[in-house]
Amino acid sequence: MNIVILAAGQGKRMHSDLPKVLHPLAGKPLLGHVLDTAALMNPEVICVVYGYGGDAVPKAFANRQGIHWARQETQLGTGHAVIQALPFLKEDADTLVLYGDVPLIKAKTIDALKKVANSGLAILTVTLKDSSGYGRIVRKNSQIIKIVEQKDASSEELVIAEVNTGIMLVATTKLKQWLVNLGSENAQKEYYLTDIISMAVEEGVRVGSVEPESITETLGVNSRTQLSQLERVFQKEAAEFLMEQGTTLFDPDRLDIRGCLQAGKDCSIDVNCVFEGNVVLGEHVSIGPNCVIKNVHISDGTRIEAFCHIDGAQIGKRCSIGPYSRLRPATTLAEDVHIGNFVEVKASHIQAGTKAGHLSYLGDSTIGRNVNVGAGTITCNFDGANKHRTIIEDDVFIGSDTQLIAPVTVRRGATLAAGTTLSKEAPEDMLTLSRVSQKSVRWQRPMKKKP
């Protein structure tokens, strides 16, 4: 199969500098969704017809291999758009036409289209209560005889409820023959791809049709309102899927997955969480409300409390994180670690049983087992030019309001007194403190002057 994806249109109603097909749905450009579905079909050729926005569209997909990009300089119609793709198409395979702004089309529906195409022509149609704006499917004795565009339709044709979705499958040799004969004598002076239907009928080629399981598969994005509607359709499906797999969602309407979320059984997700990139949850993981979680692996039994921001971390079993914790990339936590409120952890490895409960910054650090990090502890990892590591060995106790000036090491079993500014190694099992000793003097507190 050849797949041609039409994506040259501007999308005027988006009122945007960004070409329409690059607007994200569930964190991925509209065209990305179509390309992913296209790839599922294992086609021999994928060709995207682009135009508006110039090279911005191919550039956005520069990391995808094997896509042919056909430029349509001026948008003279859907037929003209497909003509731009012809040089790339394999003649002995059928050609599927998809739209870059119709993101939710399913592989299953394309398979159904393949079954009825029979090396001829098959169209995906839908029946709508309000068919205005669409090309109408004209049938005679139940056979499709042509598609007529809204602006060219007679009053009898305008009442037809069955419409063209734009998605069709055509034998490539036929497609080539028909496209060279396209004219633009119509209300819009455009080359209509849909005119090939009557050409096929004239040649005696039977035109098949199928309807999708859901109309949402064929809905296009022409405005930001429609974009938001398809976003909700997508999210609802993703939420349903998670629940079917054994995850409790406190409210499936208040969940956003912008990437891939995998969850083991008996996970629960409270409201207003956003998942980005690849997120994997083990079993019995619970996520509190209002968390943003991106590219994270969270192991069995871990609890993430409300308002956490977690990006690029690996979290072990039975940890408790938050509320209000921030875990940044290259952070790994072993089992039974507790990271509490207003604690930021970056590029750090924290071993089992360690706790940092309150108001700390742990950056570029390696922290052993059963360490207690007191409130207000800061690893001073940056000297203004370079980053340095802090090493804290097992069973260390760090008093509150301590600064560790990296590079520095705290040996096993050491205790750092509260308020210590550590600039040299703290030896094993000793108390290290660096603060002036306390004294008390008699004094007179200043008094307010009388006027």
Q: Rounded CA gap, 165 and 101, in Å?
A: 12
Q: Scan for tokens 């050729």, then name that residue.
A: 45
Q: Is 33 a catalytic residue?
A: no
Question: What is the smallest separation between the CB atom of 186 and ligand UD1, expressed in angstroms?
Answer: 9
By CB under 6 A, tell whether 164 contacts ligand UD1. Answer: yes
Which of the residues 183 through 212 are near ligand UD1 (CB under 6 A)?
Answer: 192-194
Encoded one letter per residue, x for contact with ligand UD1 by CB under 6 A and - for no contact, window 85-124 reads --------------xxx-----------------------
Partners of residue 279 on adjacent β-strands: 261
Q: Rounded CA gap, 199 and 338, in Å?
A: 70
By CB under 6 A, tell whether 220 contacts ligand UD1. Answer: yes
By CB under 6 A, tell whether 134 contacts ligand UD1. Answer: yes
Query: Structure tokens of 281?
Result: 């949850």
Partners of residue 95 on adjacent β-strands: 2, 170
Question: What is the smallest separation between the CB atom of 108 and ligand UD1, expressed in angstroms?
Answer: 20
Residue closer to ligand UD1, measured from CB, 149 or 256: 149
Cα radius of gyration (the chain): 31
Encoded one letter per residue, x for contact with ligand UD1 by CB under 6 A and - for no contact, window 40-59 reads ---------x----------
* Phi then psi dihedrals of residue 235, to 5 deg: -65, -40
Question: What is the smallest separation between the CB atom of 11 and ligand UD1, expressed in angstroms?
Answer: 7
3-state secondary structure 406-424: CCEEECCCCEECCCCEECC
Q: Is 324 exposed, middle or buried (0-12, 13-18, 19+ CB in 10 A)?
A: middle
Q: Scan for tokens 């002076």, then name that residue.
A: 189
Which of the residues 287 through 316 are near ligand UD1 (CB under 6 A)?
Answer: none
Question: What is the maximum alpha-carbon separation in the chain?
Answer: 110
By CB under 6 A, tell whether 149 contacts ligand UD1. Answer: yes
The angle subtended at Cα 95 by Cα 93 and Cα 96, nearest 5°, is 135
Question: What is the smallest separation between the CB atom of 188 and ligand UD1, expressed in angstroms?
Answer: 7
By CB under 6 A, tell whether 275 contacts ligand UD1. Answer: no
Question: What is the smallest separation between the CB atom of 189 and ligand UD1, expressed in angstroms?
Answer: 12
By CB under 6 A, tell whether 35 contacts ligand UD1. Answer: no
Partners of residue 343 on adjacent β-strands: 360
By CB under 6 A, tell whether 81 contacts ligand UD1. Answer: yes
Tell me if 41 sits within 8 A of 107, measured CB to CB.
yes
Q: Rounded CA gap, 30 and 223, in Å?
A: 13
Cα dihedral 31→35→36→41 (10° resolution): 150
Residue closer to ligand UD1, measured from CB, 166 or 301: 166
Question: What is the smallest separation between the CB atom of 223 and ligand UD1, expressed in angstroms?
Answer: 12
The angle subtended at Cα 155 by Cα 150 and Cα 156, nearest 5°, is 105
Interface with ligand UD1 (CB under 6 A), residue from 23, 33, 80, 317: 80
By CB under 6 A, tell whether 282 contacts ligand UD1. Answer: no
Number of residues that bind ligand UD1 (CB under 6 A): 27
Question: Which residue ranges make up the site for ligand UD1 (CB under 6 A)?
Answer: 6-9, 49, 72, 75-78, 80-81, 99-101, 134-135, 147, 149, 163-166, 192-194, 220
Catalytic residue ranges? 358
